[in-house]
C-alpha cells in the first residue's frame, strides 16, 4: 500500500520539470497524508484532488493494479479517468512484531517519480475530484519492508497511461524497472503534524529524535 508520501520540490522548479503551470493550492510537503488535496495530472490538466475515495463502507486510498479494471468502484476510472501523481518518494513501515520502523523509499537517480492513479469526477459543484494511488507487487529491494508499492511510471509511459492505452502488465513492467533506494527515517513521520526536511533524513536508533530521550 501507499499511505504517506512526499512532494517537496519548490514550485518554480516543479513547474519547470512538469512543464505545466501549477495550481495556486500547491504547497511542498514532506508528509502528505490521505484525505488532503494533492497535485494530480490528468490528460486535460494539472490540478489538485482529494487523495481518497469515500464510500458508505470505506475510505479507499489505494487500488490494486491487478484488479482495478474489474472492481466495480474503479472500473470506470480505469477506462476513462487515469492520472499521474508526482512525488519525490514515499514512506513505508517495517514491522518486526514489536514496533514499526518507517522507511523512506525514493528514486535512486532522479528527483521526481510519478505514481499511476485513478480519479473520480466530483458529483457536486462545491466538491473536488477524488483520486487513489495504484499499487503493485514491491520490487525485490523493498520486499523486506512491505510486499506492495505504488505503481511507478517513467516519463516515456506518461502519455500512453493518460490516454488509457497502457495495459496492466505494461504498467507493472515499467514499475519494476525504475531503480529505487531506501533508508530508515525518524518515527516523527508517524504524526502528520510533523512536516519538515528532517523527516526524510537517514536515521538509526542513536539518531532518531524520539529515541534520544531514553
Could you say which of 44, 66, 79, 92 is catalytic? Answer: 92
Instruction: Provide the edge-to-edge strand list for the sheet that holds 29-32.
Output: 29-32, 5-7, 89-95, 100-107, 180-184
Residue 2 appears among annotated catalytic residues = yes
Give the DSSP letter string of 43-61. SS-EEEEEESEE-SS-EE-
Residue 184 neighbours by CB under 8 Å, 6+ apart = 101, 102, 103, 104, 202, 203, 204
Residues in the chain: 214
State the cell numbers at 146: 512491505
State the cell numbers at 105: 523509499
- Which candidate, 12, 9, 35, 32, places its Cα nearest to that of 22? 12
| Cα of 52 vs its chain's centroid, Å | 11
Residue 76 appears among annotated catalytic residues = no
First CA to last CA distance, the chain: 32
State the cell numbers at 205: 536508533
CA distance 114 to 116: 7
Residues acting as catalytic residues: 2, 92
Amino acid at each position: 500500500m501507499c499511505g504517506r508520501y512526499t512532494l517537496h520540490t519548490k514550485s518554480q522548479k516543479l513547474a519547470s520539470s512538469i512543464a505545466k503551470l501549477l495550481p495556486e493550492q500547491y504547497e511542498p510537503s514532506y508528509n502528505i497524508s490521505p484525505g488532503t488535496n494533492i497535485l494530480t495530472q490528468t490528460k486535460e490538466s494539472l490540478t489538485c484532488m482529494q487523495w481518497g475515495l469515500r464510500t458508505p463502507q470505506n475510505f479507499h486510498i489505494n487500488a490494486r493494479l491487478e484488479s482495478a479494471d474489474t472492481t466495480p468502484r474503479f472500473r470506470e476510472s480505469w477506462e476513462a479517468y487515469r492520472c499521474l501523481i508526482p512525488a519525490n518518494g514515499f514512506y513505508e513501515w517495517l514491522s518486526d512484531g514489536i514496533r514499526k520502523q518507517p522507511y523512506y523509499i525514493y528514486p535512486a537517480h532522479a528527483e521526481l517519480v510519478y505514481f499511476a492513479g485513478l480519479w473520480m469526477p466530483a458529483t457536486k459543484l462545491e466538491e473536488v475530484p477524488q483520486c487513489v494511488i495504484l499499487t503493485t507487487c514491491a520490487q525485490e529491494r523493498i520486499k523486506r519492508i512491505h510486499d506492495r508499492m505504488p505503481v511507478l511510471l517513467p516519463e516515456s509511459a506518461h502519455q500512453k497511461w493518460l490516454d488509457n492505452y497502457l495495459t496492466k502488465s505494461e504498467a507493472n513492467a515499467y514499475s519494476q524497472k525504475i531503480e529505487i533506494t531506501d533508508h530508515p527515517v525518524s518515527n516523527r513521520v508517524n504524526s502528520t503534524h510533523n512536516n519538515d526536511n528532517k523527516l526524510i533524513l537517514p536515521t538509526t536508533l542513536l539518531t532518531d529524535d524520539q529515541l534520544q530521550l531514553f
